[in-house]
């Protein structure tokens, strides 16, 4: 398709998006005002920074593994965080990327996770524990032993410059599979 064919469409879009008067400009600015971040958003933003620590993993039939790890968490506006987690996993570079936010309509924390060793997108939902100390996120992913879809859960406790995330998989209380202990650099 040539640019000549798109020209009428581009003109219509441009004409519709340009304010016609000062009153239109003020109305457009008011419409773009975003609501302030909620306390839940602000709580997630407390994790922004560079972190370094240890990932401890338990896999069926294998000894406990301790791996040096690092994570950088950045703000994405006032509503989201994005993270980049890296470590060396059995001689292979591991990299994972996540997003976290709070959905005020659903009234729950929401997140996503992708990494270079998993083919699925993890879509998570969660809540803060009743005592306000632990963020509990849940999602469905492959069970490491069976390869079948199974419930997964993470429990994150962050106190100042220390973070501990414990991972479980399976029904009920699940089986503890990993703990990531980090300190802010």
List of domains in the chain = 1-33 (no CATH), 39-184 (2.40.128.20)
On the question of pLDDT at 151 being above 70, the answer is yes
Mean pLDDT (whole number) for 141-168 = 94
Which residue in the block uniquely carries the two structure tokens 């306000």?
Answer: 132
pTM score: 0.81
Alpha helices in the chain (DSSP H): 3-17, 22-31, 39-45
- pLDDT score recorded for residue 8: 39
Q: Which residue has the higher pLDDT, 55 or 29?
A: 55
pLDDT band at 113 (very low <50, low <70, confident <90, very high): very high
Comparing 14-23, 66-75, 95-104, 166-175, the range with the smallest average pLDDT is 14-23
**pLDDT digit string (tens) for 10-41?**
333 344 444 455 566 556 656 778 999 999 99
- pLDDT score recorded for residue 14: 40
The pLDDT > 70 percentage for the chain reads 84
Q: CB of 154 within 8 A of CB of 98? A: no
- pLDDT score recorded for residue 32: 78
């Amino acid at each position: 398709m040539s640019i000549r064919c798109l020209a009428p469409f581009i003109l219509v879009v441009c004409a519709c998006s340009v304010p016609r008067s000062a009153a239109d400009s003020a109305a457009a600015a008011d419409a773009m005002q975003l609501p302030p971040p909620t306390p839940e958003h602000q709580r997630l933003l407390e994790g922004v920074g560079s972190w370094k620590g240890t990932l401890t993993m338990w896999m069926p039939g294998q000894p406990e593994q301790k791996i040096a790890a690092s994570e950088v968490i950045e703000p994405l506006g006032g509503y989201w965080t994005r993270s980049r987690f890296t470590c060396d996993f059995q001689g292979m570079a591991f990299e994972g990327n996540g997003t976290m936010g709070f959905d005020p309509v659903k009234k729950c924390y929401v997140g996503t996770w992708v990494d270079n060793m998993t083919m699925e997108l993890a879509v998570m939902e969660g809540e803060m524990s009743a005592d306000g100390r632990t963020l509990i996120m849940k999602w469905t992913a492959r069970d490491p032993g069976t390869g079948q879809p199974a419930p997964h859960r993470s429990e994150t406790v962050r106190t100042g410059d220390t973070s501990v995330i414990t991972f479980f998989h399976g029904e009920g209380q699940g089986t503890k599979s990993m703990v990531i202990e980090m300190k802010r650099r």
